[in-house]
């Protein structure tokens, strides 16, 4: 007769086998890959909007086919905040500009760590029943894409004479990056309006 501990071990093995079977189902693999791709895409878009766009804010035109930047102001206002990390320095500047909140910047550190896990451990993500794309962080990352797009969009509106005298709801501005993430979120079974997910 099997011992109680032996039956418990078999039960756990059966439970794991069921979870692994569900994880490897074609629809599950497809959803995992979509969510992983969405997460990686969101991070790259955020990185571009933070590091690249903050530097572009100090663009001062072109000369002889070369872009000119006010590098002195860029160093003083941005990179001096964190000389070892342009990303963190740019985040600090964006918080001061009210484009991001302190809480969002803290979450972006988690987003980065999870992005590393996904990028370097994709096979594990596909076969480990206990390793999933963190939907909470994906939703938070998409919200950062939205907020950054609205911020840079508001600057474009304020510096474009065609919008003079017109009322613009800045918070409703949608960048191309955010429209892309909206589409990917729908494929990933995420509801951005209610911050919930299907099958998460």
| DSSP per-residue string spanning 88-104 | HHHHHHHHHTTSS-HHH
- Give the count of alpha carbons within 13 A of 29, CB side only: 9
pLDDT tops 60 at residue 1: no
- C-alpha 66/C-alpha 121 separation (Å) is 40
Range of the domain at 143: 31-57+95-195
Average pLDDT of the segment spanning 129-134? 92
In a domain, 18, yes or no: no
Of residues 27 and 13, which shows the higher confidence score?
Answer: 27
* Assigned domain for 16 exists: no
Rounded Cα distance between 34 and 16, Å, is: 24
Residue 146: which pLDDT band, with cuts at 50, 70 and 90? very high
Whole-number Å distance between alpha carbons of 139 and 154: 23
Query: Is residue 100 included in any domain, yes or no?
Result: yes
DSSP state of 58: T
Residue 4 has pLDDT above 70, yes or no: no
Which 8-state DSSP code applies to residue 114? H
Residue 153: inside a domain, yes or no? yes
Domain contains 17: no
Rounded Cα distance between 160 and 156, Å, is 6
| Domain assignment present for 149 | yes
Residue 34 confidence (pLDDT) above 80? yes
* Token reading at 87: 């990303």
pTM: 0.82
Average pLDDT, the chain: 88
Q: How many residues does the chain have?
A: 200
The answer, yes or no, to whether residue 200 has pLDDT greater than 90, is no
- Give the residue among 60, 81, 57 at the shortest CA–CA distance from 69: 60
pLDDT in tens, 45-81: 999 999 999 999 999 999 998 999 999 999 999 999 9
Is 85 or 192 the better-scoring residue by pLDDT?
85
> CA-based angle 55:52:183, to the nearest 5?
145
Q: Is 108 exposed, middle or buried (0-12, 13-18, 19+ CB in 10 A)?
A: buried
Q: Which residue has the higher pLDDT, 25 or 185?
A: 185
* Any domain includes 175: yes
Count of domains in the chain?
1
According to the per-residue pLDDT averaged within each range, which of 5-14, 161-170, 171-180 is highest? Answer: 171-180
Asked if residue 13 is part of any domain, the answer here is: no
- Mean pLDDT value of segment 157-170: 78
Q: What is the pLDDT of residue 134?
A: 96
């Amino acid at each position: 007769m099997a011992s109680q501990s032996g039956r418990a071990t078999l039960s756990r093995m059966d439970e794991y086998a069921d979870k692994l079977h569900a994880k490897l189902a074609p629809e599950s693999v497809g959803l995992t890959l979509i969510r992983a791709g969405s997460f990686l895409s969101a991070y790259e878009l955020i990185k571009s909007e933070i590091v690249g766009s903050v530097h572009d804010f100090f663009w001062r035109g072109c000369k002889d086919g070369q872009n000119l930047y006010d590098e002195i102001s860029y160093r003083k206002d941005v990179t001096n905040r964190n000389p070892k990390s342009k990303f963190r320095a740019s985040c600090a500047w964006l918080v001061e500009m009210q484009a991001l909140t302190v809480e969002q910047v803290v979450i972006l550190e988690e987003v980065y760590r999870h992005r590393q896990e996904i990028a370097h451990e994709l096979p594990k993500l596909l076969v480990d029943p206990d390793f999933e794309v963190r939907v909470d962080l994906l939703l938070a990352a998409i919200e950062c894409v939205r907020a950054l797009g609205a911020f840079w969009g508001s600057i474009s509106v304020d510096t474009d004479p065609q919008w003079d005298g017109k009322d613009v709801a800045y918070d409703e501005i949608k960048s191309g990056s955010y429209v892309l993430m909206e589409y990917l979120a729908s494929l990933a079974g995420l509801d951005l309006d209610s911050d919930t997910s299907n099958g998460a």
